[in-house]
């Protein structure tokens, strides 16, 4: 019995989503929270793009500048679970995922802590008894609904109590597991998805009854959702409720378009990955430049090129001039200090051989496939480096060089 698929947890295809999300119900009912003059509003970040965090923070700032300091806002990121639990106990309102379709595990924990949950809640997407449990919120109505529940604490208390009772009834892990076992125990019946995404069934043309373990179905759903605007591009998204809008989203938004639109918000780690493997040369070039590699005009780097450096810092360790061409498989190693041997480190041998020095490539240089260029090397203008060469020393202008180690074989000139 599989209850979770960890690497696809964000795609809402975990098997227990077909029942209810299970959670441990506390033995003691939490006491109602004291109503503060300034409510505490909490937002917990898992992945900023998936939760729409940056847009939410901007909206919160605008509300505060417009109405004054009428609430406290805490954005929880990179905290230990124990710290988050304490903050949750003190929170009055949780803003969860305004671009999503319903409460996740953190949303359930908020409701169990008798905290008002404001989150996206598309009933067409996920048939879940949340209509009276959560405040259906998106970026367009956030201001209106937030002000209403701040100014009407009694309404807030009523909804909190309804939510608590519903979670205890539907999401108790013992009840959920019992329902799963009942279905699995009867081999004559098809596994029924009690709750499944409506527009998944529209596009995959599935009946409401189908095999829970069918990998083809899971892969279909995964492929569809990868191109979803709300999944990939949180900054511009609006909640999708109409069938026509959803159809347009699936047909017109591509994975590559999303990458290229969001290139300025990615981490350096992801940018370096894109620089090495992305199929579009313009995007690769932009990603190399954003991770501390200087490229001249009309210089082309093929995919599958490695630069061994500390790209997280601002130090420039690789510079290529104009009109250069670098074939696949080339390794630039300006920083040769990655060694896990305790003997080499303690003996001092590593200090003798480790090196960090900028590699400089001149103009009009062609570097063949699978070459390795070591730290400190300077290759002059108008040079050709043959495939599979190990370049450990400088190469002068107008040289044809190759070999291990790389040596100048002949001089090149403009006339011949």
User: What distance, in Å, lies between the first and last C-alpha atoms of the chain?
Assistant: 73
Nearest to 392 by CA among 408, 410, 365, 373: 373
Question: Which residues are known catalytic residues?
Answer: 335
Rg over CA atoms, the chain? 28
Query: What is the Cα–Cα distance from 365 to 373, expressed in whole angstroms?
Result: 13
**CA of residue 391 relative to chain centroid, distance:** 38
Query: What is the Cα–Cα distance from 117 to 92, expressed in whole angstroms?
Result: 9
Can you say whether the dihedral through the CA atoms of 203, 205, 210, 215 is positive or negative?
negative
Structure tokens at 33: 């929270």
Query: What is the Cα–Cα distance from 50 to 231, expressed in whole angstroms?
Result: 6
Structure tokens at 352: 């003798």
Contact, 288 vs 264, CB < 8 A? no
Contact, 378 vs 396, CB < 8 A? no
Query: What is the Cα–Cα distance from 50 to 265, expressed in whole angstroms?
Result: 13
The CA–CA distances, whole Å, from 96 to 46, 51, 229, 235, 288 equal: 10, 7, 18, 15, 35
- In Å, the largest CA–CA distance within the chain is 90
Q: What angle, rounded to 10 degrees, do the helices at 153-170 and 105-112 form?
A: 120
Structure tokens at 216: 């083809």
Q: What's the full length of the chain, in residues? A: 416
Nearest to 87 by CA among 106, 70, 105, 101: 106
**Burial class of residue 388 (count of CB atoms within 10 Å of its CB; 0-12, 13-18, 19+):** middle
Name residue, tokens 């493997």: 277
């Amino acid at each position: 019995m599989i209850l979770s698929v960890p690497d696809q947890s964000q795609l809402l295809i975990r098997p227990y989503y077909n029942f209810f999300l299970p959670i441990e119900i506390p033995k003691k009912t939490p006491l109602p929270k004291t109503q503060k003059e300034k409510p505490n509003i909490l937002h917990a970040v898992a992945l900023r793009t998936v939760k729409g965090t940056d847009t939410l923070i901007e909206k919160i700032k605008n509300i505060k500048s417009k109405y004054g300091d009428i609430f406290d806002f805490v954005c929880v990121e990179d905290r230990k679970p124990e710290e988050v639990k304490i903050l949750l106990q003190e929170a009055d309102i949780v803003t969860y995922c305004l671009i999503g379709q319903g409460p996740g595990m953190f949303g359930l924990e908020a409701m169990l802590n008798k905290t008002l949950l404001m989150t996206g809640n598309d009933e067409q997407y996920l048939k879940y008894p949340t209509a009276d449990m959560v405040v259906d919120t998106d970026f367009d109505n956030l201001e209106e609904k937030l002000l209403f529940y701040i100014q009407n604490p009694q309404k807030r208390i009523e909804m909190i109590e309804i939510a608590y009772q519903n979670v205890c009834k539907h999401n108790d892990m013992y009840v959920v597991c019992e329902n799963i076992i009942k279905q699995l125990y009867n081999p004559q019946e098809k596994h029924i998805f009690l709750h499944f995404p409506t527009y998944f069934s529209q596009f995959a043309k599935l009946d409401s009854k189908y095999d829970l373990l069918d990998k083809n179905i899971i892969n279909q759903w995964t492929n569809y959702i990868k191109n979803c605007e709300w999944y990939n591009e949180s900054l511009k998204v609006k909640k999708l409720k109409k069938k026509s809008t959803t159809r347009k989203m699936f047909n017109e938004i591509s994975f590559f378009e999303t990458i290229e639109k969001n290139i300025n918000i990615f981490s350096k780690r992801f940018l370096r990955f894109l620089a090495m493997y992305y199929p579009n040369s313009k995007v690769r070039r932009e990603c190399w430049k954003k991770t501390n590699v200087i490229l001249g005009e009309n210089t082309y780097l093929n995919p599958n090129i490695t630069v061994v450096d500390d790209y997280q810092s601002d130090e420039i360790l690789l510079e290529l001039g104009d009109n250069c061409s670098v074939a696949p498989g080339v390794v630039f190693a300006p920083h040769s200090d990655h060694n896990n041997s305790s003997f080499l480190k303690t003996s001092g041998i590593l200090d003798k051989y480790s090196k960090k020095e900028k590699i400089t490539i001149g103009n009009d240089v062609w570097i063949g496939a699978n070459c390795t260029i070591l730290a400190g090397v300077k290759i002059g203008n108008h040079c050709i480096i043959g495939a599979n060469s190990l370049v450990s020393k400088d190469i002068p202008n107008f040289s044809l060089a190759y070999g291990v180690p790389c040596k100048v074989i002949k001089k090149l000139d403009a006339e011949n």
